[in-house]
């Protein structure tokens, strides 16, 4: 799990953001996309879909070092925004031998493919079944595990890199500032709230260091 500072909380395609409902209001013949700044602190949450399995059969209880556990892209909100830090949470699960065999096979067939040394595809059989149809092939494994977590705060200001992943896939395009006009006589553009979801939070993550 990766927490990244987010500066844009709303995007409207072919319209503008309503300052009261925070919904996009379409404008006739407009093809412009406008982005709107967050009205307060906001963090984007990214999840990894990689399966990273390791057998401790030969470690004999010793500490495992120098094993890559994740690849963290260098995210950037875009021009004019800081995004100077990230917080990465690493979770380690203790699983059974049967669960290891299942996830190892899943990893080999979905992530480690395309080499001459790859093993031929085999049926990925877990412990989940369709009780109404025994012939249906079901992918899944159900089990209870122990888990340990560690959070690492990364200060991006110490790194210089040209390889950045823009959160929007492009630089933000902010709605230009404008003076109050009838009928609403409001200052524009408005700022958007950071709406809580599985991928976004306005709550400062535990371990955030800036």
pLDDT band at 153 (very low <50, low <70, confident <90, very high): very high
pLDDT at 37 over 60: yes
> What are the pLDDT digits (tens) for 94-117?
999 899 988 888 888 877 655 545
Please give the pLDDT value at position 89: 95
Same domain, yes or no, for 10 and 71? Answer: yes
Same domain, yes or no, for 170 and 115? Answer: no
Same domain, yes or no, for 65 and 159? Answer: yes
Same domain, yes or no, for 55 and 139? Answer: no
Same domain, yes or no, for 65 and 115? Answer: no
106 secondary structure, DSSP code: H
Number of domains in the chain: 2
Domain that holds residue 67: 1-93+146-210
Give the whole-angstrom CA distance, residue 91 versus residue 141: 18
Same domain, yes or no, for 121 and 42? Answer: no
Same domain, yes or no, for 102 and 195? Answer: no
Most confident of 6-10, 78-82, 143-147, 176-180: 6-10
Same domain, yes or no, for 137 and 111? Answer: yes
Please give the pLDDT value at position 119: 58
| Average pLDDT across the chain, whole number | 87
Give me the phi and psi of 109, to 5 degrees please: -90, -20
pTM over 0.75: yes
- Residue 133: asked if its preceding bond is cis (omega within 30°), the reply is no
Same domain, yes or no, for 51 and 6? Answer: yes
> What are the pLDDT digits (tens) for 42-77?
999 999 888 889 888 888 778 888 888 888 888 988
């Amino acid at each position: 799990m990766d927490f990244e500072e987010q500066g844009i909380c709303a995007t409207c395609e072919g319209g503008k953001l309503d300052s009261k409902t925070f919904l996009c209001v379409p404008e006739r013949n407009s093809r412009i996309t406008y982005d709107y700044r967050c009205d307060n602190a906001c963090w984007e949450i990214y999840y990894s879909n990689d399966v990273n399995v390791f057998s401790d059969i030969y470690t004999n209880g010793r500490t495992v070092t120098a094993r890559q556990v994740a690849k963290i892209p260098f995210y950037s909100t875009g021009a004019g925004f800081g995004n100077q830090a990230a917080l990465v949470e690493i979770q380690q699960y203790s699983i059974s031998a049967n669960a290891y065999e299942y996830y190892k096979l899943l990893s080999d067939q979905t992530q480690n493919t395309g080499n001459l040394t790859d093993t031929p595809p085999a049926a990925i059989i877990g412990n989940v079944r369709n009780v109404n149809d025994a012939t249906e092939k079901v992918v899944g494994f159900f089990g209870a595990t122990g888990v340990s977590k560690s959070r690492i705060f990364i200060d991006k200001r110490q790194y210089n890199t040209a390889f950045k992943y823009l959160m929007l896939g492009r630089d933000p395009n902010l709605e230009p500032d404008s003076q109050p006009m009838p009928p609403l006589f409001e200052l524009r553009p408005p700022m958007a709230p950071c709406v809580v979801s599985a991928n976004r939070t306005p709550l400062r993550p535990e371990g955030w260091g800036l």
